Amino acid sequence: MPRMAWLLLMFGGLTVPAEAQEIITAAASPYELAKFVETHNGFDWSHIWNALHITDAEIFLPPCEEDHPGVPPCAGELITIVDPFQVIVVLEHRISMFQVFLRYQKVGADGWRFSSAYAPLTKYFRPEHRITRFGGKQFLIVTG
pTM: 0.80
Predicted pLDDT at 79: 94
Check residues 42 and 74 and name the one with the higher pLDDT. 74
Predicted pLDDT at 17: 54
Predicted pLDDT at 123: 78
DSSP the chain: -HHHHHHHHHHTT-SPPHHHHHHHHHTTSHHHHHHHHHH-S-B-THHHHHHTT---TT-----B--SSTTS-SEEEEEEEETTTTEEEEEEEETTTTEEEEEEEEEETTTEEEEEEEE----SSS--EEEEEEETTEEEEEEE-
pLDDT higher than 50, residue 103:
yes
Domain ranges of the chain: 2-143
